[in-house]
Chain A
Amino acid sequence: MTWNYVDIALMLVKILLVFFIILTLAAYLVLAERRILAWIQDRIGPNRVGPFGLLQPLADVIKMLTKEDLIPASSDRLLFSLAPAMAAIPAILTFSVVPMGAPLHIMGHEVSLQVTDLDVAVLFFLALSSIAVYGVALGGWASNSKYALLGSIRGLSQLISYELSMGLSLVPVVMLAKSLRMTDIVNAQASMPFIVYQPLAFLIFLVSIFAECKRIPFDLPEAEGELVAGFHTEYSGMRFGLFFVGEYINIIALGALASVFFLGGWRGPLLPPIVWFFIKVAVFSFLFIWVRGTLPRLRYDQLMHLGWKFLTPLALINILATGWWLALR
C-alpha cells in the first residue's frame, strides 16, 4: 500500500470532521429529545438559553465540566475512571465505517465520504457493539454499590441477548448484498432498498437496536423507579456526561447503520446524497424519542422472553427463508 501526503491529510480531515459532526449532533439530539418529550407531555421544555433554547447544550457542557468530580472511596479507581470512556469510544468508532454520501471528486482525487471502507465492516460493527458491553459492566462493578451492580448485571445480560438477534437480523442483508463491505451494501440497494425484501429483518433489527441503546422500553439497566440511576448511579460531572453523550452517539450511530442496511444509505431522489443520509438519521433519532415518550418499561422476564424466545428464532427462520428464496430464484 503506497500512501502520499494528500491521502494522509484527507484522512485526518475526514476523521476530525466526523468527530466534530457527531459530537455536535449528539449535543443537539439531547436538546431535541428534551424539547420533543416536553411537546409530547404538554410541557414547554428548555427554551431559555439562546433563541429556542439552542445554546442549552453549551450550558449543559459548562455545568458538567464545573461540577465536582466524585470518586467513591470504596471504588476501584482505575476501572471507575476507565468505564465512561469504554462506553463512549465504541459508539464513536462505529462511524468510521459508515458511508455518509456518494464519493466526491476533488482535484482529481476520488474522496469517499467514509473514513475507511473495511472489507469486514459489518463484523467490525458487531465487534464494537459487543465491546460496548464493557462500559456498562465495569462502570457498575467498579462503583462498588448495590444499585450500580444490579443495573450493570441487567445491562450485561440484556446487551448479550439482543446482540444475538441484532447480528442474526443482519445475515439476510449480507446474503442479499453478497458482501460485508458497507459500500457494496449501499450499492446493492441502488434499485430497491432492502426494507422492501426484508421487512421482518428490519423490524428485528429495530427492536434490537432499541435494546442495545438501553432506551425505553428496554431501559432496565438504569430503571429510575427501582435502581436510582442503574449502572451510572455513582458517577457525577463529566464522567457521567461521557456515559450520557455515549448513549446519544450510539443512537445516531445505530440510526445511521439502520439506514445503511435497510433504507439504502445515502441513496434517494432529487436531494444530494449527504442530505438524504442525514434525513434518514434524523428520522430514526425522532423515532427513538417518540418511542421513549410513548411506551412503558418492560418487565425483566418479558425482556428476556422477547429476546430469546421470539426475536432470535424469528431471525433464524428469516435467514432460512431468505436462503431458500435466493436458491430457488
Chain B
Amino acid sequence: MEAILFYILSAVTLIGTLCAITARQAVRAIVYLVTSFFSLALIFYLLGAPLVAAFEVIIYAGAIMVLFMFVIMMLDLGHPEKLTFPKIRDWWPAVLLLAVIAGSILILAVSREPATAPGFTAITVREFSQALFKRYGVAVEIISMQLLFALVGALYLGRRR
C-alpha cells in the first residue's frame, strides 16, 4: 500500500518539477512547483516525519512560492517570453553536470554493496523538537542569527535614500 502511494507521489513530484522547468508562464511554473511540493510533503509523511511534511507546505508552498507569486503579479511579468532554443555551445555546463552525476552514480553502484534501508520509526513532534533544541541547539541559534543579519541587510538595502 505504502509502496504504491510512494511511486504515485514520486511520479507526481518528478512530473511537477519537470513541468515547472519547462512552463513558459511564470505563474504556471509556480503552480506546478507547488504541486510537486505537496507530493513531496506527502512522501515525508509516509516516511514518518509529519512535522517535516507540515513545514514543507507552510514554508515552501505557503510562504516562499506565495512571495514569488506576489512579485510576479506586482511587476506584471506574467506574459510569456518568446522561447528560443539554446545554442549547442551553451549546453556544455549542463552536459558536464549530467556526466558528473551519472558517473558518480555508476561508480557507487559498481563499487559498493546495495544499502539497506534503516528501520522505520515515526518521529513525534516532541522527539523532533528535543533533538532540534537540545542536540543541535547551538546550530539553530547560529542559523537564526544569520537570518537576522539577512533581515537587517535587506532592510538596509531597501531603505529610502
Residues of A within 8 A of B (CB): 76, 78-79, 82, 118-120, 123-124, 126-127, 130-131, 133-134, 137-138, 140-142, 149, 152-153, 156-157, 160, 163, 179-180
| Shortest distance from the beta carbon of A308 to any chain B beta carbon, whole Å | 13
Q: Say which one of B50-58, B84-92, B102-110 lies at the interface with A.
A: B50-58
74-130 of chain B: CB within 8 A of chain A: 74, 78, 124-125
B66 and A119 within 8 A (CB)? no
A76 and B58 within 8 A (CB)? no
Give the complex CA separation of A124 and B50 in angstroms: 9
- Partner pick for B124 among A119, A123, A127, A130, CB 8 A cutoff: A119
- Partner pick for A130 among B28, B50, B66, CB 8 A cutoff: B66
B58 and A152 within 8 A (CB)? no
| Shortest distance from the beta carbon of B67 to any chain A beta carbon, whole Å | 8
Residues on B with C-beta less than 8 A from A179 are 125
Instruction: Give the interface residue-count category, chain B.
Output: 20 to 34
Minimal Cβ-Cβ distance residue in A for B76: A149
Residues on B with C-beta less than 8 A from A142 are 27
Give the complex CA separation of A140 and B70 in angstroms: 12
B124 and A131 within 8 A (CB)? no
Whether, in the assembled complex, B73 has its beta carbon less than 8 Å from a beta carbon of chain A, the answer is yes
Give the complex CA separation of A127 and B37 in angstroms: 12
- Partner pick for A156 among B27, B58, B69, CB 8 A cutoff: B69
- Partner pick for B58 among A82, A123, A137, A180, CB 8 A cutoff: A123
- Partner pick for B27 among A120, A126, A133, A141, CB 8 A cutoff: A141
B78 and A157 within 8 A (CB)? no
In the complex with contacts A76-B25, A130-B57, A152-B66 CB distance below 8 A: no
A120 and B125 within 8 A (CB)? yes
In the complex with contacts A134-B34, A156-B69, A118-B27 CB distance below 8 A: no
Residues on A with C-beta less than 8 A from B31 are 79, 82, 134, 138
| Shortest distance from the beta carbon of B108 to any chain A beta carbon, whole Å | 33
Minimal Cβ-Cβ distance residue in A for B34: A134
A127 and B73 within 8 A (CB)? no
Give the complex CA separation of A141 and B76 in angstroms: 10
Whether, in the assembled complex, B61 has its beta carbon less than 8 Å from a beta carbon of chain A, the answer is yes
Give the complex CA separation of A134 and B34 in angstroms: 10
The 10 A-B pairs with the shortest beta carbon distances in the complex, nearest first, are A130-B62, A123-B54, A127-B57, A120-B50, A120-B54, A127-B58, A119-B50, A133-B66, A156-B70, A137-B69
Whether, in the assembled complex, B63 has its beta carbon less than 8 Å from a beta carbon of chain A, the answer is yes
Residues on B with C-beta less than 8 A from A76 are 25, 27-28
Q: List 22 A-B contacts (CB under 8 A).
A: A76-B27, A78-B28, A79-B31, A118-B50, A119-B50, A120-B51, A120-B125, A123-B54, A127-B54, A127-B57, A127-B62, A130-B63, A133-B66, A134-B66, A134-B69, A137-B66, A152-B73, A153-B70, A153-B73, A156-B70, A160-B66, A180-B125
Residues on B with C-beta less than 8 A from A160 are 63, 66-67, 70
